[in-house]
Protein backbone atom coordinates (compact mmCIF):
# COMPACT_ATOMS: atom_id res chain seq x y z
CA UNK A 1 0.00 0.00 0.00
CA UNK A 2 1.38 3.43 -0.86
CA UNK A 3 0.92 6.45 1.37
CA UNK A 4 -1.92 7.97 -0.70
CA UNK A 5 -3.80 4.67 -0.56
CA UNK A 6 -3.30 4.47 3.22
CA UNK A 7 -4.62 8.03 3.59
CA UNK A 8 -7.68 7.14 1.51
CA UNK A 9 -8.34 3.89 3.41
CA UNK A 10 -7.89 5.31 6.93
CA UNK A 11 -11.17 5.88 8.73
CA UNK A 12 -11.95 6.04 12.44
CA UNK A 13 -12.98 2.62 13.68
CA UNK A 14 -15.22 2.53 16.73
CA UNK A 15 -16.39 -1.08 16.48
CA UNK A 16 -15.31 -4.26 18.19
CA UNK A 17 -11.88 -5.76 17.69
CA UNK A 18 -10.88 -9.39 17.24
CA UNK A 19 -9.00 -10.85 20.19
CA UNK A 20 -5.84 -11.53 18.13
CA UNK A 21 -2.86 -10.03 19.91
CA UNK A 22 -0.77 -7.37 18.18
CA UNK A 23 2.87 -8.41 17.77
CA UNK A 24 5.29 -6.17 19.65
CA UNK A 25 7.15 -5.62 16.34
CA UNK A 26 3.98 -4.08 14.84
CA UNK A 27 3.55 -1.78 17.84
CA UNK A 28 7.18 -0.71 17.51
CA UNK A 29 6.62 0.16 13.83
CA UNK A 30 3.49 2.14 14.70
CA UNK A 31 5.21 4.08 17.48
CA UNK A 32 8.27 4.67 15.28
CA UNK A 33 5.93 6.26 12.71
CA UNK A 34 4.83 8.65 15.48
CA UNK A 35 8.42 9.38 16.45
CA UNK A 36 9.23 10.11 12.79
CA UNK A 37 6.61 12.90 12.62
CA UNK A 38 7.76 16.51 12.25
CA UNK A 39 8.09 18.57 15.41
CA UNK A 40 8.02 22.36 15.75
CA UNK A 41 11.60 23.61 16.14
CA UNK A 42 12.51 19.94 16.66
CA UNK A 43 11.48 20.17 20.34
CA UNK A 44 10.13 16.60 20.12
CA UNK A 45 7.37 17.27 22.65
CA UNK A 46 5.49 14.03 21.92
CA UNK A 47 6.12 10.62 23.49
CA UNK A 48 4.19 7.35 23.53
CA UNK A 49 3.27 4.47 25.79
CA UNK A 50 2.28 1.29 23.94
CA UNK A 51 0.16 -1.08 26.00
CA UNK A 52 -0.01 -4.78 25.20
CA UNK A 53 -0.26 -6.24 28.71
CA UNK A 54 -3.87 -7.40 29.23
CA UNK A 55 -3.81 -6.45 32.93
CA UNK A 56 -2.67 -2.89 32.19
CA UNK A 57 -5.23 -2.62 29.38
CA UNK A 58 -7.97 -3.76 31.75
CA UNK A 59 -6.98 -1.10 34.29
CA UNK A 60 -6.96 1.57 31.56
CA UNK A 61 -10.33 0.48 30.18
CA UNK A 62 -11.81 0.53 33.70
CA UNK A 63 -11.35 4.32 33.95
CA UNK A 64 -12.66 5.20 30.46
CA UNK A 65 -16.33 6.08 30.92
CA UNK A 66 -18.22 5.75 28.69
CA UNK A 67 -16.08 2.90 27.38
CA UNK A 68 -14.25 3.08 24.06
CA UNK A 69 -11.97 0.56 22.38
CA UNK A 70 -12.52 -1.89 25.23
CA UNK A 71 -12.06 -4.96 23.00
CA UNK A 72 -8.76 -3.78 21.49
CA UNK A 73 -5.85 -6.10 22.33
CA UNK A 74 -3.41 -3.16 22.37
CA UNK A 75 -3.42 0.60 22.71
CA UNK A 76 -1.11 3.57 22.42
CA UNK A 77 -1.31 6.54 24.74
CA UNK A 78 0.13 9.80 23.46
CA UNK A 79 1.79 12.06 26.00
CA UNK A 80 3.14 15.55 25.51
CA UNK A 81 5.25 18.16 27.21
CA UNK A 82 4.27 21.80 26.83
CA UNK A 83 7.66 23.20 25.82
CA UNK A 84 8.00 26.66 24.34
CA UNK A 85 9.82 26.65 21.04
CA UNK A 86 9.94 29.72 18.81
CA UNK A 87 9.12 33.20 20.17
CA UNK A 88 7.62 31.66 23.29
CA UNK A 89 5.16 29.63 21.22
CA UNK A 90 4.42 26.02 22.03
CA UNK A 91 3.79 23.61 19.16
CA UNK A 92 2.86 20.58 21.26
CA UNK A 93 -0.64 20.27 19.74
CA UNK A 94 0.75 20.39 16.20
CA UNK A 95 3.50 17.94 17.17
CA UNK A 96 1.22 15.31 18.65
CA UNK A 97 -1.37 15.78 15.89
CA UNK A 98 1.24 15.02 13.21
CA UNK A 99 2.49 12.04 15.23
CA UNK A 100 -1.01 10.64 15.71
CA UNK A 101 -1.79 10.92 11.99
CA UNK A 102 1.46 9.13 11.14
CA UNK A 103 0.55 6.33 13.55
CA UNK A 104 -3.01 6.04 12.24
CA UNK A 105 -1.62 5.61 8.72
CA UNK A 106 0.90 3.02 9.93
CA UNK A 107 -1.90 1.17 11.73
CA UNK A 108 -3.90 0.91 8.48
CA UNK A 109 -0.79 -0.04 6.49
CA UNK A 110 -0.16 -2.94 8.90
CA UNK A 111 -3.75 -4.21 8.60
CA UNK A 112 -5.15 -2.88 11.87
CA UNK A 113 -7.72 -0.24 12.79
CA UNK A 114 -7.96 2.52 15.39
CA UNK A 115 -9.67 5.76 16.35
CA UNK A 116 -8.20 8.99 17.70
CA UNK A 117 -9.77 9.58 21.15
CA UNK A 118 -8.74 12.92 22.56
CA UNK A 119 -11.70 15.02 23.72
CA UNK A 120 -13.33 11.94 25.23
CA UNK A 121 -10.45 11.50 27.68
CA UNK A 122 -9.36 15.13 28.20
CA UNK A 123 -12.82 16.52 28.95
CA UNK A 124 -13.91 17.91 32.34
CA UNK A 125 -13.92 14.46 33.94
CA UNK A 126 -10.13 14.19 33.33
CA UNK A 127 -10.04 10.52 32.38
CA UNK A 128 -6.56 11.21 30.98
CA UNK A 129 -5.24 11.97 34.47
CA UNK A 130 -6.56 8.62 35.75
CA UNK A 131 -4.92 6.88 32.80
CA UNK A 132 -1.66 8.77 33.39
CA UNK A 133 -1.62 7.64 37.03
CA UNK A 134 -2.00 3.99 35.99
CA UNK A 135 0.88 4.38 33.50
CA UNK A 136 3.15 6.32 35.90
CA UNK A 137 3.32 9.33 33.59
CA UNK A 138 5.45 12.10 35.17
CA UNK A 139 3.60 15.29 36.17
CA UNK A 140 5.40 17.39 33.54
CA UNK A 141 3.72 15.33 30.78
CA UNK A 142 0.06 15.36 29.78
CA UNK A 143 -1.71 12.29 28.40
CA UNK A 144 -3.63 13.69 25.41
CA UNK A 145 -4.75 10.78 23.25
CA UNK A 146 -5.79 7.14 23.41
CA UNK A 147 -5.49 4.94 20.31
CA UNK A 148 -6.94 1.43 20.62
CA UNK A 149 -5.23 -0.91 18.13
CA UNK A 150 -6.51 -4.19 16.75
CA UNK A 151 -7.99 -6.15 13.90
CA UNK A 152 -11.50 -4.91 13.19
CA UNK A 153 -14.39 -7.34 13.49
CA UNK A 154 -16.31 -5.29 10.92
CA UNK A 155 -15.41 -2.99 8.05
CA UNK A 156 -14.98 0.64 9.09
CA UNK A 157 -17.86 2.92 8.21
CA UNK A 158 -16.80 5.35 5.50
CA UNK A 159 -18.07 8.84 6.29
CA UNK A 160 -19.51 11.02 3.56
CA UNK A 161 -17.06 13.78 2.69
CA UNK A 162 -17.89 17.11 1.10
CA UNK A 163 -16.87 17.49 -2.52
CA UNK A 164 -13.38 18.82 -3.31
CA UNK A 165 -14.84 22.05 -4.73
CA UNK A 166 -16.63 22.74 -1.42
CA UNK A 167 -13.43 22.72 0.64
CA UNK A 168 -10.45 23.31 -1.64
CA UNK A 169 -9.62 26.07 -4.12
CA UNK A 170 -6.75 27.54 -6.09
CA UNK A 171 -5.42 31.08 -5.76
CA UNK A 172 -8.03 32.31 -3.30
CA UNK A 173 -11.05 31.35 -1.25
CA UNK A 174 -13.92 29.87 -3.28
CA UNK A 175 -12.13 30.35 -6.63
CA UNK A 176 -12.10 27.69 -9.34
Q: Give a yes or no: residue 39 inside a domain.
A: yes
Residue 2 has pLDDT above 90, yes or no: no
Q: First vs last Cα of the chain: how many Å apart?
A: 32
What is the enclosing helix (H) or strand (E) of 167?
A: helix 164-167
Q: Specify if 171 maps to a domain.
A: no
In a domain, 82, yes or no: yes
pLDDT value of position 174: 87
pLDDT band at residue 26 using 50, 70 and 90 as cut-offs: very high
State which residues form the domain around 28: 3-154
DSSP string, 39-77: -GGG---EEEEEE--HHHHHHHHHH-SS--STT-SEEEE
The CB-side HSE value for 165 (13 A sphere, CA atoms) comes to: 2
> Residue 95: what are its φ and ψ, rounded to 5°?
-60, -50
pLDDT tens for residues 33-84?
A: 999 999 999 889 999 999 999 999 999 999 999 999 999 999 999 999 998 8
CATH number of the domain encompassing residue 77: 3.40.109.10
In a 3-state reduction of DSSP, which class is residue 172?
coil
In a domain, 71, yes or no: yes
Is residue 67 a part of any domain in this protein? yes
CB 129 within 8 A of CB 146: no
142 C-beta neighbours (distance < 10 Å), count: 18
The pLDDT score that the predictor gives to residue 77 is: 98
Over residues 166-171, mean pLDDT: 92
What is the number of H-type helices and E-type strands within the chain? 7, 5
The pLDDT score that the predictor gives to residue 157 is: 85
How many domains are there within the chain?
A: 1
Is residue 176 in some structural domain? no
Asked whether residue 121 is domain-assigned, the answer is: yes
Amino acid sequence: MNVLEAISKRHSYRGKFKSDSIPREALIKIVQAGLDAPSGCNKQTTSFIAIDDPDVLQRIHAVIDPPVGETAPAAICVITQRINAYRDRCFAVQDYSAAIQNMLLAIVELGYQSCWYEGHITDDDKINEKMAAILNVPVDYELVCFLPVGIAEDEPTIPKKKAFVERAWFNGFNKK
